[in-house]
């Protein structure tokens, strides 16, 4: 739970600063109104991924790739495809 992991939450803006300090009571955070952003703002919506054939990797490269993917899975950065 985010609120239990942090004792202080600071929100900054151009106008003022709001600080919520942890107490024995759990603060209720309202939903933030954020603008939707794009990971790739320079790529138009009419662009699609290019399909290519799989590459052949050396055994050393395959071991490295499997190790790195395993770390990313363990850290929750990526998840298995379905």
In a domain, 70, yes or no: no
Q: Say whether pLDDT at 40 is over 60.
A: yes
Which has more pLDDT, 47 or 20? 47
Q: Say whether pLDDT at 53 is over 80.
A: yes
Average pLDDT over residues 22-43: 67
Return d(Cα 20, Cα 10) in angstroms, integer. Answer: 6
In a domain, 79, yes or no: no
CA distances from 47 to 16, 54, 65 (A): 41, 21, 28
Per-residue confidence band for 77, with pLDDT thresholds at 50, 70 and 90: very high
Domain containing 1 equals: 1-29
Q: Which two tokens stand for residue 20?
A: 């919520």
Give the SS3 label for residue 68.
Answer: helix
Q: Which residue is associated with the tokens 């799989």?
A: 54
Q: Say whether pLDDT at 47 is over 80.
A: yes
The per-residue pLDDT for 68 is 96
Return d(Cα 72, Cα 76) in angstroms, integer. Answer: 6
Number of domain units in the chain: 1
The per-residue pLDDT for 43 is 85
């Amino acid at each position: 739970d985010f609120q239990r992991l942090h004792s202080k939450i600071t929100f900054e803006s151009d106008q003022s600063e709001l600080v919520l300090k942890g107490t024995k009571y759990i603060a209720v955070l309202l939903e933030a109104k954020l603008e939707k952003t794009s990971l790739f703002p320079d790529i138009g919506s009419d662009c699609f991924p290019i399909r290519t054939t799989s590459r052949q990797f050396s055994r050393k490269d395959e071991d490295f790739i499997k190790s790195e993917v395993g770390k990313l899975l363990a850290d929750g950065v990526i998840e298995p495809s379905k």
